[in-house]
Amino acid sequence: MQILCSIPEMQAVNYPAGSKVGFVPTMGYLHEGHLSLVDAAVKSSDLVVVSIFVNPAQFAPSEDLDSYPRDFDRDLALLEKRKVDYVFFPTADEMYPPGYKTWVEVEGISHILCGNTRPEHFKGVSTVVLKLLNIVRPQSMYMGEKDFQQLTVLQRMTQDLNLGVDIIGCPIIREEDGLAKSSRNLYLKGKEREQATCLYKALTNSQKLVAAGELAAEKIIAAAEQLILDSLVKVDYIKIVDGRDLSEVQDIDEHSRMLIAAWVGKPRLIDNMSLKA
Ligand code: PAF
């Protein structure tokens, strides 16, 4: 496994002609969710590149950029065991040098849902991912479905800009009690860890309602909201959208997906699930 700490080093990698390069972009502090993406990439690619970059452009000044968990040595040890070929670990100064002025914005879908409370977030994500794709030059990129909006925004970007990269969405990896794995779960203190399971419970309860014949989005959302409020967790949003374009739906069909964001104490967690299992 080669560790490349600068953009020119990564750009200079000469992949053998015809080899299929799979790419997993991460912000490090790897957990089983990330590792499942690496496994998917290893399975379907000839060469695998993982990037580790805590992207300042996707954090608002009030957010957790400085305290975002980092452990490069532990990340490398995990990736070593998984047949990763290259780890790209650039610095923020190199990614955004003085005078940097170019941003990518996927209109509309970047400003709903999580974009309401994090208005600049997806601009930062789209920009860094486009830069990473240009530098790494993969055929496929592997992303978790946990940030479903991110996945949709990046699929739209690659399609709109004719990047010719396949974006592969991979299933959410959960703890035994259903909590979606996330680097931010680390911030949950004391009883918040138990309270945090209410997102999963609200999603599975919504699935059950749909299976029992309830198809009115409004009613399903109201039940989910009640379940979350009963756990004393503060809802940011609960929406049912068409998973193909994030538009809100009134009646459930096979494309419907519930997306939730909520503050469990200080940490803001997100989760989602298709409503037609
Ligand atoms: O999902 C993440 O970890 C980040 O948003 C990503 C895609 C690596 C871009 O910084």
Residue 196 CB coordination number (10 Å): 25
Q: What is the mean pLDDT of residues 30-55?
A: 98
Report the nearest atom of ligand 1 relative to the CA of 27: 3
Confidence (pLDDT) at 276: 86
Ligand 1, atom 1: closest residue by C-alpha: 26
Residue 7 has pLDDT above 70, yes or no: yes
**Do 195 and 133 lie in a common domain?**
no
Helix (H) or strand (E) holding 208: helix 198-211
**Do 200 and 160 lie in a common domain?**
no
CA 111, CA 143: separation in Å to the nearest integer?
Answer: 20
Task: Give the domain range for residue 205.
Answer: 183-274
Confirm whether 126 is domain-assigned: yes
Which strands make up the sheet holding 86-88, listed edge to edge?
Answer: 2-4, 86-88, 47-52, 21-26, 140-144, 166-170
CA 7, CA 4: separation in Å to the nearest integer?
Answer: 8
**Do 66 and 126 lie in a common domain?**
yes
Contact (Cβ atoms closer than 8 angstroms) between residue 80 and residue 1: yes
Confirm whether 162 is domain-assigned: yes
Confirm whether 245 is domain-assigned: yes
Q: What is the mean pLDDT of residues 4-12?
A: 98
Query: Among the three residues 139, 170, 201, which one is the final residue of a domain in this structure?
Result: 170
Confirm whether 178 is domain-assigned: no
Query: Among the three residues 108, 139, 170, which one is the final residue of a domain in this structure?
Result: 170
Catalytic residue positions? 34
**Do 187 and 166 lie in a common domain?**
no
**Do 160 and 28 lie in a common domain?**
yes
Confidence (pLDDT) at 134: 98
- Rounded to the nearest angstrom, the distance between the alpha carbon of 26 and the centre of ligand 1 is 5
Query: Among the three residues 145, 170, 195, which one is the final residue of a domain in this structure?
Result: 170
Confidence (pLDDT) at 277: 62
CATH classification at residue 195: 3.30.1300.10
**Do 122 and 207 lie in a common domain?**
no
Q: What is the mean pLDDT of residues 130-143?
A: 98
**Do 79 and 215 lie in a common domain?**
no
CATH classification at residue 57: 3.40.50.620
Residue 64 has pLDDT above 90, yes or no: no
- Rounded to the nearest angstrom, the distance between the alpha carbon of 90 and the centre of ligand 1 is 14
Ligand 1 close to Cβ of residue 125 (< 6 A): yes
Q: Is 234 helix (H, G, I), strand (E, B) or coil?
A: strand
CA-based end-to-end distance of the chain:
39
Confirm whether 114 is domain-assigned: yes
Ligand 1 close to Cβ of residue 124 (< 6 A): no
Count of domains in the chain?
2
Helix (H) or strand (E) holding 50: strand 47-52
Confirm whether 74 is domain-assigned: yes
- Computed over every residue of the chain, the mean pLDDT equals 97
Ligand 1, atom 9: closest residue by C-alpha: 125
Tokens of 110: 């970047």
**Do 139 and 58 lie in a common domain?**
yes
Angle at Cα 58 formed by Cα 53 and Cα 63, nearest 5°?
A: 105
Tokens of 70: 């980092």
Confidence of residue 133 (pLDDT cuts 50, 70, 90): very high
Residue 184 to residues 30, 144, 165: CA-CA distances in angstroms? Answer: 11, 15, 29
Q: What is the mean pLDDT of residues 211-227?
A: 98
- In this predicted model, what pLDDT tens digit does every residue of 155-176 receive, in sequence order? 999 999 999 999 999 999 999 9
- Rounded to the nearest angstrom, the distance between the alpha carbon of 226 and the centre of ligand 1 is 31
